[in-house]
Amino acid sequence: MTHHIVILGAGYAGLATATGIVRRLRKGEVIVTMVNDSPFFVERVRMHQRTVGQERAERSLASLLTHTGIRVVIGRASHVDLVRREVGVRIDGGERTLPYDTLVYALGSMSSCSAVPGAAEHALALSNWSNATKIRDRVLEVAGSNADIVVVGNGATGIEVAAELAESQPNLRVTLIGQRPLGGWLSKRAARRLHRVCERLGVVVRDDVIVTEVRHDSLLLDGGETLAADAAIWALGFSVSPIAREAGIDVDADGRILVDGTLRSTSHPDIYAVGDAGAAQGSDNRPLRMACATAIPMGKYAATAIAARLRGEIPRPFRFRYVFQCLSLGRRDGVIQFLHPDDHPTGFVLVGRPAALYKEAIVRGAALSARGYGRPLGRLGLLRVRRD
């Protein structure tokens, strides 16, 4: 009997799973259906480039998946019915249900700013492509007037956005704020480099800062200080869809699905969770970070495990070792921090123009790899990067 596999989310993880499955199984053995809320595969790792008006990093899923036999349903997944084994999808105001034998949950994550008063109303969260476009529009609106742009969150995403904005719009006064020291998770050399590049680009760096309220033209900080902000960009608080928790699937405190060593839900073995939405463990038994670099290997592995089980084989457990983390600092600079397998930084760091080129190659390779290409990069370990 034909086995129905439904994949929720056509980001890096979902796409890598889908293309992996059709490579491993023959037509007729399985029917693969992908559900995505947009007709495009979006290169989310380029979202900071979008905020300064750079290329549209999205490709039509229909054209990417031509001749693969993968069915694509454009709609918003609304719920999972674990008893009936079906998924509800909202399409143009109506609801459709899709039955599954195996469900792959790959709905990713988004930056959420609901926890701080005023943030949902006044801050621009870097959560998806359309929000990145809103940020671009706001930046262009204020670009000529020495405006104050505050990027909230000094993890990797906040750093990349701040550097991109400062490089492309030198008139802007860009401030990068966060609670932790800038680059504190990197080696000393990489952190020093971050500070130096921020200084060169004119980005004001402020650590140890907590935002207590967002207003339409400013941010209130915990010491009572007010920081002027013509635009506040929210680059922290990445959270996942509530669908899994609401369905009754076992999740961790962040709502990521708890999985076993083969990326299957610990509570529902007919469900695999990959990418940001799955709480897979790394070599030191800590949850893997939300990253494109972890999402693609998870997707590829899930495809292997699903194919193995359908053939009656027992899949080997998922193994992941970090190799490096890439940070772009505008289009001409960057930092590549090489890592120990457990994600701790080594002393080896690549910086400057070579790092910017290296990162660009990785980003291109990641998109290819998710689409089913990129084996050489994967073999060299070049796609395993860490991200906050």
Ligand X SMILES: Cc1cc2nc3c(=O)[nH]c(=O)nc-3n(C[C@H](O)[C@H](O)[C@H](O)COP(=O)(O)OP(=O)(O)OC[C@H]3O[C@@H](n4cnc5c(N)ncnc54)[C@H](O)[C@@H]3O)c2cc1C
Binding site for ligand X (CB under 6 A): 9-14, 35-38, 42, 44-45, 47-48, 76-77, 106-108, 126, 157, 160, 241, 275-277, 290-293, 295, 326, 385, 387
Measured from the CB atom, is 144 or 354 closer to ligand X? Answer: 354
Of 111 and 187, which CB lies nearer to ligand X in the complex structure?
Answer: 111
What is the smallest separation between the CB atom of 279 and ligand X, expressed in angstroms? 12
Length of the chain in residues, anyone?
A: 388
Write out the two tokens for 41: 């595969």
Q: Provide, rounded to whole angstroms, the least separation between the CB of residue 328 and ligand X.
A: 7
- Residue 325 Cβ vs ligand X, minimum distance, rounded to whole Å: 7
Asked if 16 and 370 touch (Cβ cutoff 8 Å), the reply is yes
Nearer to ligand X, 86 or 276 (CB): 276
Contact 127/50 with Cβ under 8 angstroms? Answer: no
User: Which of residues 53 and 117 has its CB atom nearest to ligand X in the complex?
Assistant: 53
- In the complex with ligand X, which residue's Cβ is closer, 211 or 326? 326
- Tell me which amino acid residue 239 is: S
- Axis-axis angle for helices 12-24, 292-310 (nearest 10): 30
Strand blocks (E) in 210-344? 211-214, 218-221, 226-228, 231-234, 238-240, 257-258, 271-273, 278-279, 324-328, 334-339
Nearer to ligand X, 38 or 266 (CB): 38
Cβ distance to ligand X smaller for residue 45 or 177? 45
Please give the span between the terminal C-alpha atoms of the chain, in angstroms, as a whole number: 43
How near is the Cβ of 118 to ligand X at its closest, in Å?
22
Sequence-ordered list of residues with C-beta below 8 angstroms from that of 160, at least 6 positions apart, any chain: 48, 327, 328, 329
User: What is the nearest approach in angstroms of ligand X to the Cβ of residue 294?
Assistant: 7
Distances (CA, A) of 137 to 51, 134, 141, 259, 388: 8, 5, 6, 40, 26
Backbone angles phi, psi at 95, to 5 degrees: -130, 135
Residue with the shortest CB distance to ligand X: 11
CB 17 within 8 A of CB 370: no
Of the pair 286, 311, the CB lying nearest ligand X is at 286
Q: Which is nearer to ligand X, 25 or 339 (CB)?
A: 339
Residue with the two structure tokens 């979902």: 14
CB of 40 to ligand X, least distance (A): 8
Q: At closest approach, how far in Å is the CB of 110 from ligand X?
A: 7
Least Cβ distance, residue 214 to ligand X (angstroms): 19
Kindly state the smallest distance separating residue 107's Cβ from ligand X, in Å.
4
- SS3 sequence of 91-142: ECCEEEEEECCEEEECCCEEECCCCCCCHHHHEEECCCHHHHHHHHHHHHHH
Residue 242: how many other CB atoms lie within 10 Å? 11
Mapped onto helix, strand or coil, the DSSP state of residue 371 is coil
Helix (H) or strand (E) holding 352: helix 352-370
